[in-house]
A = this chain, B = another copy of it.
Amino acid sequence: MKVALDAMGGDHAPAVNIGGAIQALRLYPKLQHLYLVGEQAALEAECAKQGLDLKDKRVSIVHAPEVIGMAEPGAKTVRKKKQSSISIAMDMVKEGKADAFVSAGNTGAAVAAAILKLRTLKGVDRAGIASALPNEHGQCNILDAGANPEATPEHLVTYAVMGTAYAKHVLGKKNPTVGLMSNGEEDEKGTTFTKETFKRLKETPGINFIGNVEGHDLFERELDIVLCDGFLGNVVLKTAESTAKAVSKWLKSEIKGNLVRMLGAVIAKGAFKALKQKASAESYGGSPLLGVNGVVIIAHGGSTATAVRNAIRVGMETVDHKVNPHIEEALAALAVSKTPAQA
């Protein structure tokens, strides 16, 4: 298994990327080779600083002189900066030099480069990002979390099939549940768009569609995939993340205002730590961009070294469990099942 890592991507690059690389090389024997794609001198310096030995045969730097900034417009910049770490690493996947690409960099650019260079899988019109939220039963994946702000009902049906394949084969769910994000759980809730999507999902064989879902379902229900367009998915993820942060911050500030409470918090600190672990994106690490002809894992821009390491793990598992062939197979079966009805 060979992985190409965008070593320059993310808010804390290249430090966390190299830190994540060190962890991955130590923890994952299946990782035969890790390509650190980015600016050679900067990466050599960071490797020296963190003690990553570049004489190790399992790791090497692939020089990419250009960097795509986190705030640059994705598609446009990918076309302009042909020597960026994202472009060069994506080419490596295209040419089969790497089995998976992992990036904590500019999401728009990674998605645009993936579509441009890898193209979509057979039967897929739109790729979608599956991003995990912690849930009482494990994790709940928002799909699409932001690859494409707008979508049609047909796109959401494809997301449902792709998400089902991912949850089955990577997350080990036997019969993954799929919900449609809406403004209420009743069947008749929603917009023209969600109502049409609801109808299509009801008619789609091979998925376990449980109907409309809302806020509390994300955390309490056994819910594997939540479908929405990338605009809504992105807003939901950011809202959840920001709320969790605000709640922790306010609780800490209430505690700090009072010496007795501070003592209590010191005693209870293990609980805060455990919660942080559970609620953190760190342990999921990476969100697969489903639907492209190659394995591309998008990590959070604010990733830590552990998050980068886990994104590499998710990439390896996605390759290992043959998610893309499973998606193509499921979509082909769906196309066959549709034919008689349309005839």
In the complex, chain A residues 130-170 whose Cβ is within 8 Å of any chain B Cβ: 136, 146, 149-150
A235 within 8 A of partner (CB): yes
A265 touches B271 (CB 8 A): yes
Contact with B along A256-267 (1 / 0, CB 8 A): 011011111111
Q: Are B246 and A274 touching (Cβ within 8 A)?
A: no
A297 to B219, CA, bound (A): 29
Most B C-beta atoms less than 10 A away, residue of A190, A247, A266: A247
Chain B residues, Cβ within 8 Å of A340: none
Residues of B within 8 A of A242 (CB): 214-216, 218-220
A149 touches B244 (CB 8 A): no
Is A173 an interface position by the 8 A CB rule?
no
B190, B236, B250, B268: which contacts A279 (Cβ < 8 A)? B250
CB < 8 Å neighbour of A234 from B183, B234, B238, B278: B183
As for how many copies of this chain the complex holds, the number is 2
Residue in B183, B263, B268, B272 whose CB lies within 8 Å of A231: B183
Q: Which of B190, B239, B254 contacts A274 (CB 8 A)?
A: B254
CA distance A267 to B186 in the complex (A): 43
Question: With an 8 A cutoff between CB atoms, is A201 at the interface?
Answer: no
Contact B246 A248 (CB under 8 A): no
A339 at the interface (CB under 8 A from B): no
Q: Is the CB of A261 within 8 A of B250?
A: no
Instruction: Give A251's nearest chain B residue, CB to CB.
Output: B275
Q: Which single residue of chain B is at the shortest CB-CB distance from A272?
A: B251
Choose among B194, B216, B236, B275 the residue that contacts A247 (Cβ–Cβ < 8 A). Answer: B275
A241 part of interface (Cβ distance < 8 Å):
yes
